[in-house]
Amino acid sequence: MSTDQNAMNELHWLIDMVQTIEVGLVVLDRNYNIQLWNGFMENHSGVSPNGIKGKNLFDTFSDLPKEWLTQKMESVFLLKNRSFISWEQRPYVFEFKNYRPITGRADHMYQNITLLPLASLTGNITHISIIIYDVTDVAINKLQLKSANEQLEKLSQTDSLTQLFNRRHWQACFEKEYERYARYGESGSMIMIDIDNFKQINDKYGHPAGDKVIQSIAHILKQSLRETDFAGRYGGEEFAVVLTNTNADESKYFTERLRKKVETSQVVYKNQIIKVTISIGVNALSEQTKNSASWLAGADKALYQSKENGRNQTSVFKEES
């Protein structure tokens, strides 16, 4: 076979491969007119190479991110360097449907894209190639793993009975909140809440009824909080709350409203009406708060005072008390 024939054969094979490869290949000229559109692109877009050759990319696909993609391609022309777009940065550029059976849960194809400068025989960059890889399988696996990890993390931070933070996670948030105060001097209040005479509830109505009471109070508490506040189940029938950017007076206003809500609420368990009250201790951050432990201890002392003074009330911690 002559050298010419060999070269012709090679070219023929290359064209065949470009057409059938499971990767999208597009060549654009300097004005973004389409010069090459391979089989992958035809299969996924439904537009044949004959119907599209010479047409402007953005006129033909009006839903492409024109401004963003032009900026990327202009820098490839200018710097004569290839550029890479990951699905994590932008899930896709060409909105193709996902037909893969394994990853059927994705609506669209996730894509990694390479923008490649193409030089003419004189060495000038006259064209650009867009190479599109279907990375749907990889992307879906990674996203599913991420979502599973997030769920696991949430589970490990949540108290199963009340869906409030569990003690460990609450304590970690509490320490962070104290650091914020120590660094920036922002106000905040620590609140300890305990259900009154809860042992009697358990003894009279049974443990499952007691659980329902705990859930009901947690629910009222959750409804009363702002986005930035956080509450945890600190012990069996004890809740700890941090009200951020809230001073003692504002906290007392909050706790009294909460206390009255609990007082007027009722839990129905097996046709029996159960009524409970709560005692509350408040400790607002001040210059006397030495560390996070003393912030918490102050709230605890105030709670003890509420119990001592007859329950169903709020006490605010004062350094001399």
Residue type, 137: D
Taking the complex as a whole, how short is the minimal distance between the CB of residue 231 and ligand GTP, in angstroms? Answer: 16
Nearest Cα residue to 133 out of 93, 101, 103? 93
Among 60, 236, 265, 313, binds ligand GTP (CB under 6 A): 236
> Which residue's CB atom is positioned nearest to ligand GTP?
236
Give the x/- contact pattern for ligand GTP in 194-223, rule: CB under 6 A.
xxxxxx--x----x--xx--x---------
Residue 237 annotated to the active site: yes
Q: Are 285 and 188 in contact (CB under 8 A)?
A: yes
Among positions 55, 90, 307, 318, the unique one binding ligand GTP when judged by CB under 6 A: 307
> Is the Cβ of residue 109 or residue 276 nearer to ligand GTP in the bound state?
276
Q: Does 232 bind ligand GTP (CB under 6 A)?
A: no
Which SS3 state, helix, strand or coil, does residue 108 take? Answer: strand
Judged on CB neighbours under 10 Å (0-12, 13-18, 19+), 12 is: exposed
Residue in 42, 67, 227, 237 annotated catalytic: 237
Q: What minimum distance in Å lies between the beta carbon of 86 and ligand GTP?
A: 47
Q: What is the dihedral of CA 248, 254, 257, 261, to 10 degrees?
A: -130
Measured distance CA(94)–CA(113) in Å, rounded: 10
Closer residue to ligand GTP, CB minimum distance, 176 or 207: 207
Tell me the closest approach of the beta carbon of residue 199 to ligand GTP, in angstroms. 3
Q: Taking Cα atoms as reference points, which of 110, 116, 117, 115 lies closest to residue 133?
A: 110
- Shortest approach of ligand GTP to residue 305 CB, angstroms? 12
Residue 283 sits at φ, ψ, to 5 deg, of -135, 110
When the beta carbons of 33 and 197 are compared against ligand GTP, the nearer one is 197
DSSP characters over 260-303: HHHHH--EEETTEEE---EEEEEEE--TT--SHHHHHHHHHHHH
Residue 90 or 311 having the CB closest to ligand GTP: 311
Residue given tokens 């069996």 in the structure block: 236
Site for ligand GTP in 137-196 (CB under 6 A): 194-196
Compare residues 158 and 187 and give the one whose CB is closer to ligand GTP: 158
In the complex, which residues of this chain contact ligand GTP (CB under 6 A)? Answer: 194-199, 202, 207, 210-211, 214, 236-237, 307, 311
> Among all residues, which ones are annotated catalytic?
237
